[in-house]
């Protein structure tokens, strides 16, 4: 039997299943990631001829595939949010970034350093890897369409989308700090100066500026072109093109491409927002969302296979408790604390805090750091990150749709 045709058959059946999954899963109110996770495990058990992890992921392949999924998800998040939100409305997601995320990192560092007995660079790496929420796996509980100034979500879905859009880029400076620490054995004045000037300030500022400029220029020129009704842009490819341009240019300039992509998405509607109008030149969300979903499908399948392949074999009892504690206690607690004295209801605070989904971004960061740094115990690190993701997929996969439906019902009753 030709392996190539078997792979084609698997891809076709899997993508067809994903196409019909909304109908099937609507009744059970679970995320599409749950059955795909089990499908991956079954395909591994049946020895389907796919490039399965053995048991740890191939670093280069994992970096590039997870990187692609994340940047596409960031563009989707940026396009949906746009420039419709005021500074006041940005305060809540910024609390998650400015309060929850740093406290989470400190807590993870202290626990892994003093309880799990990892060295400093590894403890910092785990803190940075596990800190960001995931824009891809959390897509089902984020904004489901492009927002407008007159009608926009300012509750759970908006806060989770904005948080995921920003914190992937903001975790990267600490990944690099861990890499620098691992290579030098200590952090002296020279290392701190390099980190502050280059990895923190330069890369953050240039990444954000590149995104804003690319989004603004796209909006400006397409607005000019669309004034002539005879000139119409093929919208389907715009969003994916902006993703690749903003990410590629930012990385060429040694800045943070994740932030560049998100801000390019935010500013891609700049001139339309100024006049609160819709034009023929607006980037199409449907095409890039389908690409995002297609890539996530196969990422989840391979993740399910990696669980069967033994990626969790390096977990200890203490690290097992640590992983459950992160998802069930630490993130919900710190998230709730960050919303102290905000106008959100207690139930919304709890929901936003609870759904700090970990996923593909964490895998990218870990693989990137392992490849470029000098870290020991790589297998155990992969096991810890994989277990946190697995817990998040299952726990949030069974609860997210029910939560969103419950809040939608409440808002309909109040309206």
The whole-number pLDDT of residue 228 equals 58
**What integer is the mean pLDDT of 265-294?**
74
For residues 293 and 186, give the distance between their C-alpha atoms in angstroms, rounded to a whole number: 42
Q: Nearest Cα to 396, choosing from 359, 368, 365?
A: 359
**What integer is the mean pLDDT of 184-193?**
93
Pick the CATH number of 3-414 from 3.30.70.1350, 1.20.1530.20, 3.90.1310.10, 2.60.40.10: 1.20.1530.20
- % of the chain at pLDDT higher than 70: 93
Instruction: Specify the residue for token string 């808002």.
Output: 411
Q: Nearest Cα to 351, choosing from 155, 218, 185, 182?
A: 155
Q: Nearest Cα to 53, choosing from 42, 44, 63, 66?
A: 44
Write down the mean pLDDT value for the chain.
Answer: 88
pTM for the model stands at 0.92
- Which tens digits make up the pLDDT trace of 236-258? 788 899 999 999 999 999 999 99
Place 272 in a pLDDT band, splitting at 50, 70 and 90: low
Token representation of residue 377: 């115990």
Q: Which residues contact 127 (CB under 8 A, 6 or more apart)?
A: 104, 105, 106, 108, 109, 112, 174
The domain limits of the chain are 3-414
Q: Which residues contact 165 (CB under 8 A, 6 or more apart)?
A: 74, 77, 78, 81, 135, 262, 265
The mean-pLDDT minimum among 33-37, 118-122, 283-287, 353-357 falls in 283-287
The mean-pLDDT minimum among 248-252, 273-277, 312-316, 394-398 falls in 273-277
Sign of CA dihedral 16, 239, 149, 85: positive
| Residues 384 and 319: beta-carbon distance below 8 Å | yes
Higher pLDDT, 99 or 285: 99
The mean-pLDDT minimum among 63-77, 93-107, 401-415 falls in 401-415
Place 286 in a pLDDT band, splitting at 50, 70 and 90: confident
With 70 as the cut, is the pLDDT of residue 411 above it?
Answer: no
Q: Nearest Cα to 389, choosing from 40, 16, 23, 12?
A: 40
With 70 as the cut, is the pLDDT of residue 312 above it?
Answer: yes
The whole-number pLDDT of residue 31 equals 86
Sign of CA dihedral 177, 178, 183, 189: positive
Please state, as a whole number, how many other Cβ atoms lie within 10 Å of the Cβ of residue 371: 14
The whole-number pLDDT of residue 387 equals 96
**What integer is the mean pLDDT of 330-342?**
94
If DSSP codes are grouped into helix, strand and coil, which group holds residue 234?
coil
| Residues 93 and 154: beta-carbon distance below 8 Å | no
Higher pLDDT, 313 or 406: 313
- Which tens digits make up the pLDDT trace of 17-46? 878 877 777 777 888 889 999 999 999 999
Peptide bond into 120 cis (omega under 30): no
Q: In sequence order, what DSSP letters do the residues of 23-43 get, joined into one string?
A: HHHHHHT--THHHHHHHHHHH
Around 122, how many Cα atoms within 13 Å sit in the side-chain half-sphere? Answer: 19
With 70 as the cut, is the pLDDT of residue 275 above it?
Answer: no
- Which tens digits make up the pLDDT trace of 126-180? 999 999 988 888 777 888 888 877 778 888 889 999 999 998 888 999 999 999 9
Per-residue burial over 228-247, b = 16 or more CB atoms within 10 Å of its CB, e = otherwise: eeeeebebeebbbebbebbb
Token representation of residue 375: 């870290």
The whole-number pLDDT of residue 213 equals 96
The mean-pLDDT minimum among 1-5, 14-18, 107-111, 334-338 falls in 1-5
| Residues 116 and 318: beta-carbon distance below 8 Å | yes
From its phi and psi, is residue 341 left (phi > 0), alpha (psi between -120 and 50) or beta?
left
Phi, psi of 119, rounded to the nearest 5 degrees:
-80, 175
The whole-number pLDDT of residue 153 equals 85
For residues 234 and 252, give the distance between their C-alpha atoms in angstroms, rounded to a whole number: 27
């Amino acid at each position: 039997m030709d392996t190539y045709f078997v792979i084609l058959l698997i891809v076709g059946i899997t993508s067809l299943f994903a196409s019909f999954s909304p109908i099937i899963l609507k009744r059970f109110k679970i995320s599409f990631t749950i059955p795909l996770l089990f499908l991956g495990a079954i395909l591994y058990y049946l020895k389907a001829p796919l490039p399965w992890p053995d048991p740890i992921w191939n670093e280069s392949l994992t970096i590039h595939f997870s990187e692609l999924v994340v940047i596409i998800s960031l563009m989707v998040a940026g396009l949906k949010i746009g420039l419709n939100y005021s500074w006041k409305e940005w305060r809540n997601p910024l609390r998650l970034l400015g309060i929850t995320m740093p406290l989470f990192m400190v807590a993870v560092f202290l626990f892994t350093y003093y309880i799990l007995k990892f060295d400093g660079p590894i403890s910092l790496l785990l803190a940075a890897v596990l800190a960001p929420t995931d824009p891809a796996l959390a897509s089902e509980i984020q904004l489901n369409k492009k927002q407008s100034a007159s009608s926009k979500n300012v509750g759970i879905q908006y806060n989770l989308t904005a948080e995921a859009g920003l914190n992937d880029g903001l975790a990267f400076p600490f990944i690099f700090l861990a890499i620098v620490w691992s290579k030098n054995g200590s952090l002296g004045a020279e290392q701190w100066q390099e980190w502050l000037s280059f990895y923190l300030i330069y890369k953050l500022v240039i990444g954000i500026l590149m995104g804003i400029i690319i989004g603004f220029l796209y909006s400006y020129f397409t607005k000019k072109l669309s004034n002539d009704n005879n000139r119409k842009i093929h919208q389907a490819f715009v969003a994916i093109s902006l993703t690749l341009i903003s990410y590629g240019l930012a990385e060429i300039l040694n800045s943070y491409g994740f932030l560049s992509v998100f801000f390019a998405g935010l500013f891609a509607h700049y001139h339309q927002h100024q006049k609160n109008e819709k034009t023929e030149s607006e980037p199409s969300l449907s095409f890039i969302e389908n690409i995002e979903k297609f890539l996530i499908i196969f990422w989840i399948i391979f993740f399910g296979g990696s669980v069967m392949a033994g990626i969790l074999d390096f977990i200890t009892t203490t690290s097992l408790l640590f992983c459950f504690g992160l998802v069930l206690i630490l993130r919900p607690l710190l998230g709730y604390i960050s919303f102290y004295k905000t106008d959100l209801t207690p139930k919304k605070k709890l929901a936003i805090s609870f759904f700090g989904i970990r996923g593909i971004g964490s895998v990218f960061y870990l693989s990137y750091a392992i490849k470029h740094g000098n870290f020991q115990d790589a297998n155990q690190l992969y096991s810890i990150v994989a277990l946190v993701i697995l817990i998040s997929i299952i726990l949030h996969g069974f609860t997210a749709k029910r939560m969103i439906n419950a809040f939608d019902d409440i808002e309909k009753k109040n309206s």
